[in-house]
Amino acid sequence: MTLKKALSLSLVFFCINQFHAQHSYQSIKRLSLIQLADSLNNAGAHTESFLIYQNLEKKYLKERLWEHLHFVKTEQADILLRQRKIESALSLLNNLLDTTKITEEQYPDLFSFTYAKMARCYEKKGMSDEAIVFYQKAIQLGTKGRILIHYLAQSYGYLADVYNYDKADIFNAEYYYQKELSLLQLRKDTNTKAQVHNYYSLANVYRLKSDYDQAITYCTQAMQIARATDNNLHFLEICNLLMGNIYGSKGDYHGSLDYYHTYVQLVTSHRDKNSPKLIRCYNNLALSYDKIGLKDSSLIYLEKANNIVRNSSNYNRSDEARYFQRLAEVHQSSYDKAIKYAHQSKSIYQSIEANNKTNLSFIFKIIAEIQVKHEVLDSALYYIQKSLLQHETVSYNNINHTNPSLKELKNNQGLFYSLLLKAEILGKTYQSNQKTETLNALIETYELINKLSEVY
């Protein structure tokens, strides 16, 4: 046991003994047991923190201090959450709401706090719809009560994360991240991890919306705060990776290279030089070098990524499939090599991701692109049709045109580009065969392209 831990334990038991020796609520306040429990919880001493709250619970129950009892029960649930005892935390909170002696009207801020913890439980369980309901309840009550700005901002941020990562709804995510930001900016201390995470998240949302100037602005702000704040190396890493992705998404591959190389330097400065965290960046470096015509450099980084994949204890066949996919893209000038690698990627995706239509659609499209480049038109038309079949569940009439989700954007941007390729194939085919059915198929394809272009 470390000296720091021993001192913490001594302080805990001293306070508990003093607690039992006193009989008034004022003595509890003087001893600041709640502040001590909170500090221990934040420091990772969850068991000691829970012990303090259990003793407070007994005292509050005896004195019928219902609002204080409600608070410490919610704090106990927070400790269980941090210990990843999600079911226990959720059970405790449900029991609390069933037995509490206070109402939302009396203590909106307390119930806001409790609902936020319930939402967090559901989020951890992967139940995003339930999480959204309780985060929205927490926010609604938080704006009525006197809850600290920190907690209300936290609820906005967590709700935005659910929309962003679980629901792939970048528009609601943007709205709630901006609400979080407006509250964070009211705080005097802006050099917080919460603010870095907020700027980073907004940058990624704007990248996905193709608003690259906004994305760069927010990512730059996140990096500035991360540099000025201790223990923020993780954020510096992911901000450099994101900035590389932003420049790559806007087609500035020279710009992306500097950020990717900085990311590699940061990761290798304190981790194994074959860290799995490098796989994605090496693949992105390979793509960037390929796009600027440096094929040899591209192949070097593809091999670096593949070596890590193959030597990793958590061997991931999806990463292997992406490796062959990238090889196919790099070798497009050589039909035999490109088509061999593309089919290897396709076989892996089909064996492990039968339900992942996005990856299958993309690799079918790559095969079609290779074949168009080498005038193998009949087979190209076959594979672009297979690519389009992966989009068959996405109907133009079912798209939320006003506020599409990220999933709709991705699916239909993929559909849009696949249709453009199909039109190119049909156009070349019609030039050679002059068949009416080919012309009709070409016209139908362009009609759908025009419809989609109105939205995207």
Summarised one tens digit per residue, pLDDT across range 273-304 is: 888 889 889 999 999 999 999 999 999 999 99
Nearest to 363 by CA among 404, 316, 329, 411: 329
The reported pLDDT for the residue numbered 353 is: 60
Average pLDDT of the residues in 187-207: 85
The pLDDT, as a whole number, for residue 179 is: 95
**Region 141-157 average pLDDT:** 83
pLDDT of residue 27: 47
pLDDT value for 156: 95
- Contact by Cβ (8 Å): 349, 356: yes
Percent of the chain with pLDDT over 90: 45
What pLDDT digit, counting tens, does each position of 306-335 carry?
A: 888 888 776 678 888 888 988 998 888 899
Determine, yes or no, domain membership for 55: yes
Token pair, residue 367, equals: 């095969």
Output the pLDDT for position 151: 85
Identify the pLDDT of residue 6: 42
Q: What is the rounded CA–CA span in Å between residue 302 and residue 345? A: 14
pLDDT at 18 over 50: no
Phi first, then psi: give them for residue 83, nearest 5 degrees: -85, 5
* 325: in domain: no
Q: Rounded to 5, what percent of the chain is helix, strand, coil?
A: 80, 0, 20
Q: What is the pLDDT of residue 333?
A: 87
Region 410-431: mean pLDDT is: 80
pLDDT at 336: 94
Would 194 be classed as within a structural domain?
Answer: no
User: Is the residue at 360 inside a domain?
Assistant: no
CA distance to 259, 295, 330, 391, per residue, from 291 (Å) = 16, 9, 9, 27
Residue-averaged pLDDT of the chain? 84
Task: Please check whether residue 47 lies inside any domain of the structure.
Answer: yes
Domain that holds residue 108: 26-188
> How sure is the predictor about 390, in pLDDT bands with cuts at 50, 70 and 90?
confident
Residue 140 forms part of a structural domain: yes
* pLDDT tops 50 at residue 7: no
Least confidently predicted of 87-96, 350-359, 379-388, 403-412: 403-412
CATH (domain of 117): 1.25.40.10
Instruction: Say yes or no to pLDDT of 401 above 60.
Output: no
Query: Higher-confidence residue: 413 or 11?
Result: 413
Residue 407 has pLDDT above 60, yes or no: no
Q: How many domains does the chain have?
A: 1
Identify the band that residue 36 occupies on the pLDDT scale cut at 50, 70 and 90.
Answer: confident
What is this structure's pTM?
A: 0.77
pLDDT score of 49? 85
Residue 201 has pLDDT above 80, yes or no: yes
For residue 97, give the nearest of 82, 128, 123, 119 by alpha carbon: 119
Residue 110 within any structural domain of the chain: yes
* Banded model confidence at residue 393, pLDDT cuts 50, 70, 90: very low
Mean pLDDT for 445-451 is 79
d(CA 141, CA 269): 46
Residue 224's pLDDT band (cuts 50, 70, 90): very high
Residue 367 lies in a domain: no
Joined together, the tokens standing for residue 410 give: 């991705």
Give the span between the Cα atoms of 364 and 142, in whole angstroms: 49
What distance in Å separates the CA atoms of residue 306 and residue 312, rounded to the nearest whole number?
A: 10
Mean pLDDT, rounded, for 198-223: 94
C-alpha span between 140 and 330 (Å, rounded): 52
Q: Give exposure, 122-138, as e/b (b: 16+ Cβ within 10 Å).
A: bbeeebbebbbebbebb
Torsion angle of alpha carbons 308, 309, 311, 312, nearest 10°?
100
Decide if pLDDT at 28 tops 60: no
Q: Give per-residue pLDDT as tens, 244-268.
A: 999 999 999 999 999 999 999 999 9
Would you mind telling me the total number of residues written for the chain in this entry? 456
Whole-Å CA distances, 107 to 35, 84, 111, 317, 448: 21, 28, 7, 52, 55
Tell me what the mean pLDDT of segment 377-405 comes to: 69
